[in-house]
Amino acid sequence: VTMDRLPRHVAIIMDGNGRWAGQRHLPRVEGHRAGIDAVRDVVETSARLGLEVLTLYAFSVENWKRPAAEVSTLMMLLKRYLRSELSTLLKNNIRFKVIGRTDQLWPDVLSELTDAERKTAGNTGMLFNIALNYGGRAEIVEAAKRLLAAQIRPEELDEQRFAGFLYTAGQPDPDLLIRTSGEMRISNFLLWQIAY
């Protein structure tokens, strides 16, 4: 690895867990469990390499349309991950942040997320964004609403100012986007940020 050529920000669309399980004749939930193990490895390795930002697309706004049992399992796995990995985040100086429409998440999940954000807020190493109930178009619309609420005049607005109203305000744009399933789709992920 050429350390001076590492990307500053890597974004990953976590995809294909259900298909992975299906190919092995396992229930979809086993694919999601395996995905959690992969997340652990990716987060720790990214922090060790010295990435500035890692953003994982874990749950889209469209994922609510999945069967209720699958959504419930995903939320349970998320809570389990946060409980089991919080000490690792702290030990590795990783700051944790949630991007997406958090107000629509289940209260017990939101509580775990808020707790992890609060406990890692003082960390100065890699920023680990997890995109939950996230959609790129929704993010742009919410940024526009915040911009209007801030009463920014049109002549004061440029791309840099607008970017300051996104979930990723103040972060470098991704240098590398990975989709774990190998498919070539961006699935409404970081639409503004991955323009280049």
Positions marked catalytic: 15, 63
Tally Cβ neighbours within 10 Å of residue 3: 7
Tokens 């979809």 found at: 28
Locate all alpha helices (DSSP H) within the chain, ordered by sequence: 17-23, 28-49, 68-91, 107-120, 136-149, 159-163
Which amino acid does the sequence have at 2?
Answer: T
CA distances, 115 to each of 4, 111, 178 (Å) = 34, 6, 28
User: How does DSSP assign 2-24, residue by residue?
Assistant: -GGG--SEEEEE---HHHHHHHT
- Separation CA 144–CA 135 (nearest Å): 14
| Close Cβ partners of 119 (under 8 Å, ≥ 6 residues apart) | 86, 90
Distance CA 95, CA 58 (A): 17
